[in-house]
Amino acid sequence: MKKKAVLVLALFALGMGGAFVSTRAHADPNCHHSHSRKCSSTTTTSAASSAVCGSLAGQTPSTTYSHVIWIWMENKAYSDVIGSASAPYENQLAASCGLATNYFGITHPSLPNYIAATSGSPQGIADDNPPASHPLSLLSLFGQVSSGSYEESMPANCSLGDTYPYAVKHNPEAYYLSLRTQCQAQDVPLVQFDPHNMPQFSFITPNLCSDTHDCSVDTGDAWLRQFLPPIFASADYRSGRTVVFLTWDEDDSSSGNHVPLIEMSAHTAPGTRTCARFDHYSLLRTTEELLGVTSDLGAAANATSMRTAFGL
């Protein structure tokens, strides 16, 4: 069976308008509340026609995909982005692709979320210290499949210290000692990212302004509007071989770590939203499944996969 590619970022590359029109009465307004009796696990709504998602919706998805891309933004609660006038592009993506309305980070601060999502556990980390403080000798997603880390504003390959606006705490591959040799070759500045020549797994890290850690939501929204279209225009994405996930590492401690996750692929029906409870371990498990990994890392083994929810 032909492999397909998955891109982890959850985002929207082309300008698309249109409001949600629910096909199920009462399901959508309460969907992000997992305890709601009105909550249907997955709801598909009608949205404006999109060239980004849905061209292969309804077709049987592939067992495995060729590429998965993650794009991680910073420190914003779900309500800071979804429904915000400061995030028109991200809300277009959410309306025209897939949205998880009940998705959560694992902990605080940033670094343990990045480590948990790529290894299945925070590994006892409770701070944002550099790799010298947290050398990890264990298997990660970067070692399970061919992978690449693409870091905006990183001054050299596999930089192990901060050089503002690059922050090593947002570059999880740099913490895994078993990957230190390959890190020098595959953990590179973002300018080297090529959507036409990707490894199986790509981790995209915007810098401290572009990811909204130090700058506004609308700054990050504008950055995504520029970054995503070349991915959506690639042959692998258009033919359904790539999946993209866009999410946030953690909230601002205001909403129980409830953050957005937007999923984009040709197989996902426009307007898909799921209210099932997911978290970064679900993202790890889903990515392992999509890329054909049969042994889940840590807490991913018991996490709920998002494949069915997004038609993958």
Q: Is 288 helix (H, G, I), strand (E, B) or coil?
A: helix
User: Quick check: 18 pLDDT over 90?
Assistant: no
Q: Is the pLDDT of residue 44 over 90?
A: no
Confidence of residue 13 (pLDDT cuts 50, 70, 90): very low
pLDDT grade, residue 41 (50/70/90)?
Answer: low
CA neighbours within 13 Å on the CB side: how many for 94? 21
Q: Over the stretch 149-159, which tens digit does the pLDDT of each residue have?
A: 999 999 999 99
**45 confidence band (pLDDT: 50, 70, 90):** low
Mean pLDDT, rounded, of the chain: 88
Please report whether residue 48 resides in a domain: yes
Q: Would you tell me how many other CB atoms lie within 10 Å of the CB of residue 77?
A: 20
- pLDDT exceeds cutoff 70 at 14: no
Beta strand extents in the chain (DSSP E only): 21-22, 42-46, 67-73, 98-104, 147-151, 187-189, 201-205, 242-248, 258-264, 272-274, 278-279
pTM given for the model:
0.88
236 lies in a domain?
A: yes
Question: 55: domain CATH number?
Answer: 3.40.720.10
Per-residue tokens: 109: 């601060």
Q: What pLDDT, in 10s, does the model give residues 193-248?
A: 999 999 999 999 999 999 999 999 999 999 999 999 999 999 999 999 999 999 99
Whether the predicted pLDDT of 299 surpasses 90: yes
Residue at 41 is within a domain:
yes
pLDDT tens column, 277-295: 999 999 999 999 999 999 9
In this predicted structure, the answer to whether residue 27 has a pLDDT above a threshold of 50 is no
Assess if residue 8 is contained within a domain: no
Lowest-confidence pick of 22-26, 136-140, 176-180, 194-198: 22-26
- Domain assignment present for residue 9? The answer is no
- Whether residue 188 is predicted with pLDDT greater than 50 in this model: the reply is yes
Determine the structural domain holding residue 292 and report its residue range.
Answer: 21-302
For residues 271 and 268, give the distance between their C-alpha atoms in angstroms, rounded to a whole number.
9
Residue 308, domain member (yes or no): no
Return the CA Rg of the chain.
18
Question: Does 272 score more than 80 pLDDT?
Answer: yes
Answer yes or no: is 5 within a domain. no
State the pairing for strand pair 272-274/98-104.
Answer: parallel
Average pLDDT over residues 79-106: 98
Q: What average pLDDT does this structure show over 171-181?
A: 95
In a domain, 74, yes or no: yes
- Structure-derived torsion over alpha carbons of residues 88, 94, 99, 105, reported in degrees to the nearest 10: -30
CB 228 within 8 A of CB 9: yes
pLDDT of residue 32: 36
Q: What is the pLDDT of residues 57-85, one digit of tens each?
A: 989 998 999 999 999 999 999 999 999 99
Give the pLDDT band of residue 51 (cuts 50, 70, 90).
confident
**Mean pLDDT of the 18-44 span:** 40
> Considering its fold, how many domains does the chain have in total?
1
Q: Each residue of 103-119: pLDDT tens digit?
A: 999 999 999 999 999 99
